[in-house]
Amino acid sequence: MNTVRTIAARELGSYFKSGAGWALIALFMFISGAIVWMTALSPGRAASLRIYFDLCGWLLLPVAPAVTMRLIAEEIRSGTIETLLTAPVSAAQLVIGKFTGALGFLLCAMIPTAIYVALLYHFASPAPDAGAILAGYLSLVLLGIFMVALGTLTSALTSNATLAFMMCFFTLLALLLSGAVATSPWIPEYLRAPLYELCIGPRLQDFAKGVADLRHVAFFLGAAAVCLSGATIAVESRRLR
Protein backbone atom coordinates (compact mmCIF):
# COMPACT_ATOMS: atom_id res chain seq x y z
CA MET A 1 0.00 0.00 0.00
CA ASN A 2 2.84 2.41 0.80
CA THR A 3 4.38 1.70 -2.60
CA VAL A 4 1.12 2.45 -4.40
CA ARG A 5 0.67 5.64 -2.39
CA THR A 6 4.21 6.79 -3.19
CA ILE A 7 3.79 6.19 -6.93
CA ALA A 8 0.38 7.89 -6.92
CA ALA A 9 1.67 10.94 -5.02
CA ARG A 10 4.65 11.25 -7.38
CA GLU A 11 2.39 11.02 -10.41
CA LEU A 12 -0.16 13.48 -9.05
CA GLY A 13 2.55 15.98 -8.15
CA SER A 14 4.06 15.77 -11.63
CA TYR A 15 0.86 17.16 -13.17
CA PHE A 16 0.86 20.26 -11.00
CA LYS A 17 4.58 20.85 -11.50
CA SER A 18 4.17 21.11 -15.27
CA GLY A 19 2.40 23.70 -17.38
CA ALA A 20 0.64 20.91 -19.26
CA GLY A 21 -1.30 19.92 -16.15
CA TRP A 22 -2.61 23.43 -15.59
CA ALA A 23 -3.39 23.75 -19.30
CA LEU A 24 -5.53 20.59 -19.08
CA ILE A 25 -7.45 22.01 -16.12
CA ALA A 26 -7.98 25.25 -18.04
CA LEU A 27 -9.20 23.29 -21.08
CA PHE A 28 -11.61 21.26 -18.96
CA MET A 29 -13.00 24.37 -17.26
CA PHE A 30 -13.33 26.23 -20.56
CA ILE A 31 -15.28 23.45 -22.26
CA SER A 32 -17.47 22.72 -19.23
CA GLY A 33 -18.09 26.44 -18.66
CA ALA A 34 -19.17 26.89 -22.28
CA ILE A 35 -21.60 23.98 -22.01
CA VAL A 36 -23.11 25.27 -18.75
CA TRP A 37 -23.37 28.81 -20.11
CA MET A 38 -25.23 27.66 -23.23
CA THR A 39 -27.54 25.16 -21.53
CA ALA A 40 -28.04 25.81 -17.83
CA LEU A 41 -27.85 29.60 -17.63
CA SER A 42 -30.15 30.50 -20.52
CA PRO A 43 -33.07 32.83 -19.67
CA GLY A 44 -36.45 31.13 -19.70
CA ARG A 45 -35.06 27.63 -19.13
CA ALA A 46 -35.42 25.61 -15.94
CA ALA A 47 -32.25 25.61 -13.83
CA SER A 48 -30.67 22.23 -14.44
CA LEU A 49 -27.31 20.66 -15.21
CA ARG A 50 -28.96 17.75 -16.99
CA ILE A 51 -27.62 18.62 -20.45
CA TYR A 52 -24.17 19.23 -18.96
CA PHE A 53 -24.09 15.73 -17.47
CA ASP A 54 -25.58 14.30 -20.68
CA LEU A 55 -22.56 15.67 -22.53
CA CYS A 56 -19.89 14.86 -19.95
CA GLY A 57 -18.67 11.95 -22.08
CA TRP A 58 -17.83 14.37 -24.88
CA LEU A 59 -16.45 16.80 -22.31
CA LEU A 60 -13.89 14.27 -21.06
CA LEU A 61 -13.15 12.83 -24.53
CA PRO A 62 -10.12 15.05 -25.25
CA VAL A 63 -9.10 15.48 -21.61
CA ALA A 64 -8.79 11.92 -20.26
CA PRO A 65 -6.49 10.64 -23.04
CA ALA A 66 -4.28 13.71 -22.59
CA VAL A 67 -4.02 13.03 -18.85
CA THR A 68 -3.09 9.37 -19.28
CA MET A 69 -1.07 9.18 -22.50
CA ARG A 70 2.32 9.55 -20.79
CA LEU A 71 1.60 7.43 -17.70
CA ILE A 72 3.52 4.31 -18.70
CA ALA A 73 4.42 5.06 -22.33
CA GLU A 74 6.89 7.73 -21.23
CA GLU A 75 8.52 5.33 -18.76
CA ILE A 76 8.94 2.81 -21.58
CA ARG A 77 10.30 5.41 -24.01
CA SER A 78 12.83 6.85 -21.56
CA GLY A 79 13.91 3.42 -20.30
CA THR A 80 13.00 4.13 -16.66
CA ILE A 81 10.49 1.28 -16.83
CA GLU A 82 13.46 -1.10 -16.56
CA THR A 83 14.49 0.44 -13.25
CA LEU A 84 10.94 0.25 -11.93
CA LEU A 85 10.53 -3.37 -12.97
CA THR A 86 13.78 -4.43 -11.31
CA ALA A 87 12.84 -2.63 -8.08
CA PRO A 88 10.69 -4.36 -5.45
CA VAL A 89 7.54 -3.05 -7.14
CA SER A 90 5.00 -5.40 -8.70
CA ALA A 91 3.35 -4.67 -12.03
CA ALA A 92 0.00 -4.32 -10.27
CA GLN A 93 1.39 -1.78 -7.80
CA LEU A 94 2.90 0.25 -10.63
CA VAL A 95 -0.31 0.26 -12.66
CA ILE A 96 -2.59 1.04 -9.70
CA GLY A 97 -0.25 3.78 -8.48
CA LYS A 98 -0.09 5.42 -11.90
CA PHE A 99 -3.86 5.06 -12.32
CA THR A 100 -4.59 6.54 -8.89
CA GLY A 101 -2.34 9.54 -9.49
CA ALA A 102 -3.95 10.31 -12.87
CA LEU A 103 -7.46 9.82 -11.48
CA GLY A 104 -6.63 12.10 -8.56
CA PHE A 105 -5.60 14.82 -11.00
CA LEU A 106 -8.78 14.42 -13.04
CA LEU A 107 -10.91 14.63 -9.89
CA CYS A 108 -9.03 17.78 -8.87
CA ALA A 109 -9.90 19.25 -12.26
CA MET A 110 -13.57 18.50 -11.60
CA ILE A 111 -13.70 20.23 -8.20
CA PRO A 112 -13.91 23.81 -9.56
CA THR A 113 -17.08 22.87 -11.48
CA ALA A 114 -18.89 23.09 -8.13
CA ILE A 115 -19.06 26.83 -8.81
CA TYR A 116 -21.70 26.10 -11.47
CA VAL A 117 -23.88 24.41 -8.85
CA ALA A 118 -23.41 27.36 -6.50
CA LEU A 119 -24.42 29.80 -9.25
CA LEU A 120 -27.56 27.84 -10.04
CA TYR A 121 -28.64 27.70 -6.39
CA HIS A 122 -27.91 31.42 -5.99
CA PHE A 123 -29.73 32.75 -9.05
CA ALA A 124 -32.30 30.11 -9.99
CA SER A 125 -35.84 29.95 -8.69
CA PRO A 126 -36.94 27.28 -8.06
CA ALA A 127 -33.68 25.68 -7.05
CA PRO A 128 -32.42 22.75 -9.14
CA ASP A 129 -33.00 19.15 -8.05
CA ALA A 130 -30.18 18.16 -5.68
CA GLY A 131 -30.67 14.44 -6.34
CA ALA A 132 -30.16 14.85 -10.08
CA ILE A 133 -27.00 16.90 -9.50
CA LEU A 134 -25.54 14.32 -7.12
CA ALA A 135 -26.34 11.52 -9.59
CA GLY A 136 -24.78 13.56 -12.37
CA TYR A 137 -21.55 14.04 -10.44
CA LEU A 138 -21.53 10.33 -9.65
CA SER A 139 -21.66 9.63 -13.39
CA LEU A 140 -18.83 12.11 -13.97
CA VAL A 141 -16.65 10.33 -11.39
CA LEU A 142 -17.51 6.84 -12.70
CA LEU A 143 -16.84 7.90 -16.27
CA GLY A 144 -13.53 9.42 -15.16
CA ILE A 145 -12.53 6.15 -13.47
CA PHE A 146 -13.28 4.19 -16.64
CA MET A 147 -11.57 6.64 -18.99
CA VAL A 148 -8.42 6.86 -16.88
CA ALA A 149 -8.29 3.06 -16.63
CA LEU A 150 -8.61 2.77 -20.41
CA GLY A 151 -5.91 5.40 -20.86
CA THR A 152 -3.65 3.49 -18.49
CA LEU A 153 -4.12 0.38 -20.61
CA THR A 154 -3.35 2.12 -23.91
CA SER A 155 -0.32 3.80 -22.35
CA ALA A 156 0.98 0.41 -21.20
CA LEU A 157 0.72 -1.01 -24.71
CA THR A 158 3.12 1.38 -26.44
CA SER A 159 6.19 3.54 -25.91
CA ASN A 160 4.68 6.34 -28.01
CA ALA A 161 2.58 8.76 -25.95
CA THR A 162 0.89 10.19 -29.05
CA LEU A 163 -0.14 6.72 -30.17
CA ALA A 164 -1.46 6.01 -26.66
CA PHE A 165 -3.53 9.21 -26.87
CA MET A 166 -4.97 8.23 -30.26
CA MET A 167 -5.83 4.67 -29.18
CA CYS A 168 -7.63 5.91 -26.08
CA PHE A 169 -9.36 8.77 -27.91
CA PHE A 170 -10.75 6.66 -30.75
CA THR A 171 -11.80 3.82 -28.43
CA LEU A 172 -13.78 6.29 -26.33
CA LEU A 173 -15.20 7.89 -29.46
CA ALA A 174 -16.37 4.48 -30.67
CA LEU A 175 -18.06 3.80 -27.33
CA LEU A 176 -19.81 7.18 -27.42
CA LEU A 177 -21.04 6.59 -30.97
CA SER A 178 -21.94 2.91 -30.66
CA GLY A 179 -25.51 3.72 -29.67
CA ALA A 180 -26.08 5.69 -32.87
CA VAL A 181 -24.40 2.95 -34.89
CA ALA A 182 -26.64 0.32 -33.28
CA THR A 183 -29.75 2.05 -34.59
CA SER A 184 -28.48 2.24 -38.16
CA PRO A 185 -30.48 0.11 -40.62
CA TRP A 186 -27.33 -1.40 -42.16
CA ILE A 187 -26.26 -2.99 -38.87
CA PRO A 188 -27.31 -6.67 -38.58
CA GLU A 189 -29.97 -7.35 -35.98
CA TYR A 190 -27.74 -9.64 -33.90
CA LEU A 191 -25.15 -6.85 -33.46
CA ARG A 192 -27.51 -4.13 -32.34
CA ALA A 193 -28.03 -5.27 -28.75
CA PRO A 194 -24.29 -5.78 -27.98
CA LEU A 195 -23.41 -2.42 -29.55
CA TYR A 196 -26.10 -0.66 -27.53
CA GLU A 197 -24.90 -2.29 -24.31
CA LEU A 198 -21.41 -0.89 -24.95
CA CYS A 199 -22.72 2.63 -25.49
CA ILE A 200 -21.89 5.16 -22.79
CA GLY A 201 -24.43 7.84 -23.76
CA PRO A 202 -27.69 6.22 -22.51
CA ARG A 203 -26.06 5.38 -19.18
CA LEU A 204 -25.01 9.01 -18.70
CA GLN A 205 -28.50 10.16 -19.64
CA ASP A 206 -30.01 8.02 -16.88
CA PHE A 207 -27.64 9.52 -14.31
CA ALA A 208 -28.44 13.03 -15.58
CA LYS A 209 -32.13 12.33 -14.91
CA GLY A 210 -31.24 11.42 -11.33
CA VAL A 211 -31.44 7.64 -11.85
CA ALA A 212 -28.38 6.00 -10.26
CA ASP A 213 -28.85 2.51 -11.70
CA LEU A 214 -26.54 -0.06 -10.10
CA ARG A 215 -26.15 -1.77 -13.48
CA HIS A 216 -24.51 1.37 -14.84
CA VAL A 217 -22.25 1.60 -11.78
CA ALA A 218 -21.22 -2.02 -12.29
CA PHE A 219 -20.58 -1.38 -16.00
CA PHE A 220 -18.13 1.48 -15.42
CA LEU A 221 -16.34 -0.15 -12.49
CA GLY A 222 -16.18 -3.54 -14.21
CA ALA A 223 -14.84 -2.03 -17.44
CA ALA A 224 -12.22 -0.11 -15.44
CA ALA A 225 -11.16 -3.31 -13.66
CA VAL A 226 -10.76 -5.10 -17.01
CA CYS A 227 -8.63 -2.27 -18.38
CA LEU A 228 -6.40 -2.18 -15.30
CA SER A 229 -5.99 -5.96 -15.45
CA GLY A 230 -4.95 -5.66 -19.09
CA ALA A 231 -2.45 -2.92 -18.23
CA THR A 232 -1.00 -5.07 -15.45
CA ILE A 233 -0.57 -8.00 -17.85
CA ALA A 234 1.12 -5.71 -20.40
CA VAL A 235 3.59 -4.39 -17.81
CA GLU A 236 4.23 -7.85 -16.37
CA SER A 237 5.00 -9.19 -19.84
CA ARG A 238 7.78 -6.59 -20.12
CA ARG A 239 9.19 -7.78 -16.79
CA LEU A 240 9.23 -11.36 -18.03
CA ARG A 241 10.97 -10.36 -21.26
* Percent of the chain at pLDDT exceeding 90: 31
| Greatest alpha-carbon span in the chain | 63
For the chain, what is the domain count? 1
Pick the closest to residue 72 from 173, 149, 5 (CA basis): 149
Q: Which residue has the higher pLDDT, 19 or 25?
A: 25
Q: Which residue has the higher pLDDT, 62 or 86?
A: 62
Stated pTM of the model: 0.89
Domain encompassing residue 194: 2-240
Average pLDDT over residues 208-231: 90
Average pLDDT over residues 26-52: 75
For the cut 80, the answer to whether the pLDDT of residue 22 exceeds it is: yes
**3-class DSSP state of 63:** helix
Average pLDDT over residues 99-125: 86
DSSP strands (E only) in the chain = none
Other C-beta atoms within 10 Å of 180: how many? 12
pLDDT tens column, 222-239: 999 999 999 999 988 877
Mean of all residue pLDDT scores within the chain? 84
Q: What's the pLDDT score for residue 46?
A: 63
For the cut 90, the answer to whether the pLDDT of residue 142 exceeds it is: yes
| Phi, psi angle pair for 129, to nearest 5° | -70, 115
Q: How far is 70 from 150, CA to CA, in rounded Å?
A: 13
